[in-house]
Amino acid sequence: MATSSSDRVPLGPLSVTRQGFGCMGLSHTYGRADEAESLATLDRAVELGINFFDTADVYGLGHNEQLLAKAIKGRRDRLVIASKFGNRLDRETSGRALDGRPDYAREAVEASLRRLGVEQIDLYYLHRLDPQTPIEETVGELARLKDQGKIGAIGLSEVDASVLRRAHAVHPIAALQSEYSLWTREVEAEILPAARELGIGFVAYSPLGRGFLAGAEPVEATDRRRQHPRFQAEAVAANSKRRAVAEAVAGRLGVTVAQVSLAWVLSKGVVPIPGTRHIAHLEANWAAGDLDLDAGSVAELEAAFPVGSTVGARYPAGSPPVPGLQPA
Ligand SMILES: NC(=O)c1ccc[n+]([C@@H]2O[C@H](COP(=O)([O-])OP(=O)(O)OC[C@H]3O[C@@H](n4cnc5c(N)ncnc54)[C@H](OP(=O)(O)O)[C@@H]3O)[C@@H](O)[C@H]2O)c1
């Protein structure tokens, strides 16, 4: 049966469009973002029918949630708003701390609710596992926040299958958000099957490989990707050979490489949340939801991007750990 972008899929108790919108890049992560253009892009996303918006307290240290608050004002009820906590960034030292303590969860949700200007966050994720706090304690507190109506559903990000199972035993987990794209397929071994078995929705972040799988590479000096191993010259040279196959598939189908990359993620029955600062890119990405890849194209893409073959780690050395996936 033909699929379309505006079809809805369940994430636990939530119903979201097959493709969401990732807001992180609107807070100067991958180059400068113009506020008026960002708001116009968010506006167009709602107009297109996207109902699922992803942010986190750490994106722009609150800026991202405040920006999203402006965009959703007056139409919040039609939308599913997801945010995250626990990946703390110290403004002074730029040092990271992973914090899943119950007290901190309570403090963080209140701050996010204020910044977002909402009464409830529909989906609230632990951004990274805190190795010092048992997942049962964090999820237990998130369940209490849900009972109190502060959050609508619980999510986890970048946890392995065993942590997912432990968490789900405490309270149903609505969604697992982890990196998934043609060049990051490691979740296919255990994590994605575990999510499917437990009935947990899977949200694919960086589905365009932070722009690489859309043919975009960093230009500005402050672009965070400049610190990423996969965006160093040698890695780009090696990975571009793989991307050339995706470009050839796109050429044959008369679409862009970004659309082929997204259509591949969508073909896995997961919910990608691509990010962009530009309306033209947003519209092109949304249209990928109407593209049903034939089995031959899928096989060709997967042969070009075997699991684990991408040159360069996902994150710079010293980034918070991401269990179950290739070490950063
Ligand atoms: N849970 C986590 O730990 C985690 C980690 C990372 C991200 N995320 C979430 O996932 C979302 C998406 O991930 P992401 O932003 O890292 O990566 P992404 O969506 O894979 O790629 C975004 C990059 O691709 C470019 N792009 C998008 N569409 C394009 C198109 N059609 N043509 C050319 N370039 C295009 C964007 O540039 P332009 O702005 O120029 O279009 C941007 O630089 C984030 O916004 C965030 O909400 C979560």
Q: Can you list the domains of the chain with their CATH numbers?
A: 8-211+270-276 (3.20.20.100)
- The alpha carbon of 179 and the centre of ligand 1 are apart by a number of angstroms equal to 11
45 CB less than 6 Å from ligand 1? no
320 versus 271: the higher-pLDDT residue is 271
Given pLDDT bands bounded at 50, 70 and 90, which one contains residue 68?
very high
**pLDDT of 262 higher than 90:** yes
- The alpha carbon of 137 and the centre of ligand 1 are apart by a number of angstroms equal to 31
Burial letters 26-37, b for 16+ CB under 10 A, else e: bbbbbbebeeee
**pLDDT of 327 higher than 50:** no
Given pLDDT bands bounded at 50, 70 and 90, which one contains residue 89?
confident
State the pLDDT at residue 324. 37
214 CB less than 6 Å from ligand 1? yes
Given pLDDT bands bounded at 50, 70 and 90, which one contains residue 271?
very high
> Could you give the CA distance from residue 214 to residue 263 in angstroms, rounded to a whole number?
12
Quote the percentage of the chain above a pLDDT of 70.
95
Tokens describing residue 52: 């699922």
Window from 3-17, 236-250, 262-276 with minimum mean pLDDT: 3-17
228 CB less than 6 Å from ligand 1? no
Asked if 59 is an active-site residue, the reply is yes
Which protein residue's CA is at the shortest distance from atom 13 of ligand 1? 206
> Could you give the CA distance from residue 258 to residue 244 in angstroms, rounded to a whole number?
12
Window from 10-14, 62-66, 204-208, 324-328 with minimum mean pLDDT: 324-328
Across 182-191, average pLDDT: 98
The residue type found at 19 is: Q
258 CB less than 6 Å from ligand 1? yes
Which protein residue's CA is at the shortest distance from atom 45 of ligand 1? 22
- Collapsed DSSP state (helix, strand, coil) of residue 125: strand
Residue from 89, 210, 286 whose mutation best tests the ligand 1 pocket (most atoms within 8 A of CB) = 210
> Could you give the CA distance from residue 206 to residue 190 in angstroms, rounded to a whole number?
19
Across 164-180, average pLDDT: 98
- The alpha carbon of 131 and the centre of ligand 1 are apart by a number of angstroms equal to 27
How does pLDDT run across 104-163, given as a tens digit for each residue? 999 999 999 999 999 999 999 999 999 999 999 999 999 999 999 999 999 999 999 999
Tokens describing residue 229: 């191993």
97: β partners: 88
307 touches 188 (CB < 8 A): yes
pTM for this predicted structure? 0.96
> Could you give the CA distance from residue 316 to residue 328 in angstroms, rounded to a whole number?
6
Across 273-293, average pLDDT: 97
Quote the percentage of the chain above a pLDDT of 90.
87
Residue from 19, 41, 208 whose mutation best tests the ligand 1 pocket (most atoms within 8 A of CB) = 208
Instruction: Give 251's Cβ-side CA count (13 Å radius).
Output: 6
289 touches 3 (CB < 8 A): yes
285 CB less than 6 Å from ligand 1? yes
